A and B are shown apart, each in its own frame.
Chain A
Amino acid sequence: MSFIKKSPWMFHYDGSSCNGCDIEVLACLMPMYDIERFGVINTGNPKHSDILLITGSINRQNEDVVKTLYGQMGNPKVVIAIGTCAASGGIFAECYNILGGVNTTIPVDLYVPGCAARPEAIIDGVIQALDILEEKQKQRKKGKVTK
């Protein structure tokens, strides 16, 4: 058993979005869904976290920020793109300043669809990410550092 499955700390970044998914992410922490049941803590700092939740699409201005934040997370780490915008740019895809989904900038491990993504779906995504995290941890122990 890997402890990383029992204690995934998440860090939430909001790109170009309508804030809908954003609010749903926060709803996960509320008593109704209580994602802390799974040991999840919402940290404000990439250095403390294992899961990067990104809502919204990537634009030219936040591209560097997302890269920096991703780089500042310690391995093993997982990126979850939440909502349509994070997956493909969504409704903003054609805007002059939008690069597209999160995968245009950093590797994404998991997509949670929806506009806005429902809290149940987000929690489901986080739980599925745990297996990926564990896998990455195993590979890391074998000496294969995943970047």
Chain B
Amino acid sequence: MTWITFLIIFPLLPACLVLLFKSVSIQKWVVIIASALICIGSVCLALTCTQAEAQYFRVTPDIVNKLVATGDITLALVFLYVCRHLPLKRYWIPLLVVVQYGAVVWYDLSGRVPETTHCLFVDNLSVIMALVIGIVGPLITVYTIGYMEKYHEEHPEVPDRRDQFLSAIFLFFSAMYGIIFSNNITWIYFFWEITTFCSFIMIGYPQTEEAVHNSFLALWMLLLGGLGFAAAILYASSVCGTVDLRQLLTMKKSVVLLPVLLICFAGLNKAAQFPFAKWLLGAMVAPTPSSALLHSSTMVKAGVYIVLRCAPVLHGTAAGAMVALIGGLSFLAGSALAISQRDGKRVLAYSTIGNLGLIILCAGIGSHLTLWAAVLLIIFHAPAKALMFLCVGTVEQQTGSRDIEDMNGLISRMPLLTIVMLIGLAGMFLAPFGMLISKWVVLEVLARKNPVLPMIVIFGGELMLFFYVKWMGKLVAVTGPQPQQGEGIGIEWSALGGLAVLTVLVCGLFPFVGIYLIEPMYGCDPMLSRQAIRAVAIMLGLMLLLPLGFFIPRKDLVHVDLYLSGANVTDPHKFMDSMGTARDCSFKNYYINKYFSEEKLFPGALVGSIVLLILMFSMEKL
């Protein structure tokens, strides 16, 4: 209980401190110490609270509930305040705010929302989420300090409001902890909207026209999810007679399915599943740490968390199958769309949408085994994705481009950073790293189900393999001696190194995570036989040992130039063309725009997912 309150309340302190002290060096120390404390807090929570049964804590309801109600009103006012200059005349944004907050606050003040005594709780899922937030998140925050320093040097036109940015990050942590520890859906709703607000601040940070536009795009899309949540609260309090999450989830499915679906709607929205994927893509304009944060440990993870919470109700229902299909569609579409992208960040964004789709797919089915796989996916996805974003951010700062084609031969120019990046990439799709272990578990589980789902996973997984391998290929191309470029030396390294180690470590530790954290929740998984673990261990060992061979000096090699049909000029990468002029040989990846371009696939995915959403709500009675 102490650790929970600490984790929810403590981040507010540095959030205020960075706003108070404008000095960069003080901010730096505040951030580092606060990040360390959050990290320690999460680990201590994990050490003290890990047990099979969920623990529920009594919170003296009156004061805190009043605080939440006041918070709701304040937040509504803040939202209305930021809407004072609306780009593109999006008048529905204030409308969304007024409708949802009006209803919730009115219900709250008129006493229609039933009382809940046990407002906080912790179980293993919360612990896992807390660890993901509390370890990956602070690393990103530490990276932010160094990154923002350079960011403002490179972008003098952007007003320096990094205190707000850092403050938003810490507020974000607080809200995330609030979401995962609350047992009262009005509380979750309150924290939910705080994360919406924080992401709005972060996305709009550069204050360019595009950034402002995208921040409002994110705002209205996320508020739509909030509306779903608000509706869930109203329905739950008036029909189900409780806003206690535990009680809701144990009620009869026919009664509780609608509010749960509304919450899932909000979850899908926050997890940037189709049809809401657009806000996450728009979020790419923001400085990289915010993308890393939104994509890996916070925000989108809040979305999948809440769907995962609701999974027991979804299990075995037609509506749940629809949720799974929306996830599956996002997985397929996200992976396919990433193939046609050249911008590194956009590729990562689509792959996030895809991977979260896979988690949603598992949650939508809701059997214990699929939940197993979903939790594994959450754990493995966070460090690898954060690492990739930070690497791309560093590359962008150092070379001025995040185009994948410009990363050709990066290993010759920035060897260390490239190695870290390769670890991140391998973590995303290669056996025996995390994501692949999870995909393996997913496939093993889904093979017992309808063949549509395994097929979705197989095709999506292959598409994902395609774009990641071609990216990796560009990185490892050796272009010969080239001017070395600086490698974001400084505090960023602690974050990059930490995440790289974490990516590898979680694969090594996954049996333990399974035994101590997941098994008590969802029961034993027959898949994790000793034989399978041994296979993973052998492959992981090879993956760690084999790269050492690259450092063995080879004396017996005979160096020759590339084969360029014999028309080489002195430089190994130049050749003589038919007119007798020397030309560079270069090669670009396939992007297959003919089949996988955004124009071709995005509308289809949008329509398909909207149809599925409508089906989801219409199947509520089945």
Q: What separation, in Å, do the CA atoms of A143 and B563 have in the docked complex?
A: 27
Q: Is the CB of B558 within 8 A of A68?
A: no
The residue of chain A having its C-beta at the shortest distance from the C-beta of B564 within the complex is A68
Chain A, 2-24, contact with B by CB distance < 8 Å: what is the 0/1 string?
00000000000100000000000
Q: What separation, in Å, do the CA atoms of A77 and B545 have in the docked complex?
A: 37
The residue of chain A having its C-beta at the shortest distance from the C-beta of B558 within the complex is A74
Q: Is the CB of B558 within 8 A of A46?
A: no
Q: What separation, in Å, do the CA atoms of A46 and B563 have in the docked complex?
A: 8
The residue of chain B having its C-beta at the shortest distance from the C-beta of A75 within the complex is B558
CB of A58 within 8 Å of the partner chain: no
CB of A138 within 8 Å of the partner chain: no
Q: Is the CB of A65 within 8 A of B567?
A: yes
CB of B592 within 8 Å of the partner chain: no
Q: Is the CB of B560 within 8 A of A69?
A: no
Q: What separation, in Å, do the CA atoms of A121 and B561 have in the docked complex?
A: 34
CB of A97 within 8 Å of the partner chain: no
CB of A128 within 8 Å of the partner chain: no
Choose one: B560, B567, B568; the contact of A47 (CB below 8 Å): B560
Residues from chain A with a CB closer than 8 A to the CB of B566 are: 13, 46, 64-66, 68-69, 72
B217 CB to closest chain A CB (Å) equals 52
Residues from chain B with a CB closer than 8 A to the CB of A66 are: 566
Choose one: A13, A64, A65, A72; the contact of B561 (CB below 8 Å): A72
**Chain B contact patch, size range:** under 10
The residue of chain B having its C-beta at the shortest distance from the C-beta of A69 within the complex is B566
A94 CB to closest chain B CB (Å) equals 24
Q: What separation, in Å, do the CA atoms of A12 and B561 have in the docked complex?
A: 19
Q: Is the CB of B567 within 8 A of A72?
A: no
Residues from chain A with a CB closer than 8 A to the CB of B563 are: 45-47, 72
Q: What separation, in Å, do the CA atoms of A13 and B565 have in the docked complex?
A: 10
Residues from chain B with a CB closer than 8 A to the CB of A45 are: 563
Chain B, 177-204, contact with A by CB distance < 8 Å: what is the 0/1 string?
0000000000000000000000000000
Residues from chain A with a CB closer than 8 A to the CB of B576 are: 64
CB of A71 within 8 Å of the partner chain: yes
Q: What separation, in Å, do the CA atoms of A66 and B558 have in the docked complex?
A: 19
B556 CB to closest chain A CB (Å) equals 12
Q: What separation, in Å, do the CA atoms of A46 and B561 have in the docked complex?
A: 12
Q: What separation, in Å, do the CA atoms of A99 and B560 have in the docked complex?
A: 26
The residue of chain B having its C-beta at the shortest distance from the C-beta of A62 within the complex is B566
Q: What separation, in Å, do the CA atoms of A69 and B562 have in the docked complex?
A: 11
The residue of chain B having its C-beta at the shortest distance from the C-beta of A48 within the complex is B563
B562 CB to closest chain A CB (Å) equals 9
Can you spell out 10 A-B residue pairs with CB atoms less than 8 angstroms apart? Answer: A45-B563, A46-B563, A47-B560, A47-B563, A64-B566, A64-B567, A68-B568, A69-B566, A71-B560, A72-B560
Using a CB–CB cutoff of 8 Å, the interface residues on chain A facing chain B are 13, 45-47, 64-66, 68-69, 71-72, 74
List the 10 closest pairs (A to B, CB-CB), nearest first: A65-B566, A69-B566, A68-B566, A72-B560, A68-B568, A65-B567, A45-B563, A47-B563, A72-B563, A71-B560
Task: Taking A65-B567, A72-B560 as given, write out 12 further A-B residue pairs in contact, using a Cβ cutoff of 8 Å, ordered by the A residue number.
Answer: A45-B563, A46-B563, A47-B560, A64-B566, A64-B567, A64-B576, A66-B566, A68-B561, A68-B566, A68-B568, A71-B560, A72-B561
